[in-house]
Amino acid sequence: MSRPPLPTAAVPATPEPPAARDPWTPTPYQVARVRRDTADTFTLWLRPQDGGPAMAFLPGQFNMLYAFGVGEAAISVSGDAHRREVLQHTIRNVGSVTGQLARLGRGDSLLVRGPFGRPWPIAELSGRDVVVVAGGIGLAPLRPVLLHLLRHRRQYGRVALVYGARTPADLLFAPDLARLAQRGGVQVEVTVDHADGDWHGDVGLVTGLLGRLKLAPERTAALVCGPEIMMHYVRLELGKRGVADSQIYLTMERNMKCAIGHCGHCQLGPKFICKDGPVFTFAELSGLFGRKEL
Q: Which is nearer to other proteins, 97 or 221 (CB)?
A: 97
Q: Which of residues 160-189 bind other proteins (CB under 8 A)?
A: 164-166, 170
Q: Which of residues 198-237 bind other proteins (CB under 8 A)?
A: 199-205, 207-208, 212, 226-227, 229-230, 233
Q: Which of residues 49-88 bind other proteins (CB under 8 A)?
A: 49, 66, 68-72
The 10 Å Cβ neighbour count of residue 207 is 19
Question: Could you tell me if 40 and 94 are in contact, meaning their C-beta atoms sit under 8 angstroms apart?
Answer: yes
State the nearest-atom distance from the C-beta of 268 to other proteins, in Å. Answer: 9
Q: Which of residues 9-48 bind other proteins (CB under 8 A)?
A: 17, 21-28, 30, 40
Q: Exactly one of 99, 194, 218, 242 binds other proteins (CB under 8 A); which one?
A: 194
In order, the DSSP letters of 3-41 are -PPPPPPP-PPPPPPTTTT-TT--EEEEEEEEEE-SSSE
* Omega prior to 141 cis, within 30 of 0: no
Q: Exactly one of 59, 135, 144, 184 binds other proteins (CB under 8 A); which one?
A: 135
State the nearest-atom distance from the C-beta of 223 to other proteins, in Å. Answer: 18
Positive or negative, the Cα torsion across 284, 252, 157, 125?
Answer: negative
- Direct distance between the N- and C-terminal alpha carbons of the chain, in angstroms, rounded to an integer: 44
Q: Which is nearer to other proteins, 109 or 182 (CB)?
A: 109
Q: Indicate whether 261 belongs to the interface with other proteins (CB under 8 A).
A: yes
Question: Could you tell me if 132 and 139 are in contact, meaning their C-beta atoms sit under 8 angstroms apart?
Answer: no
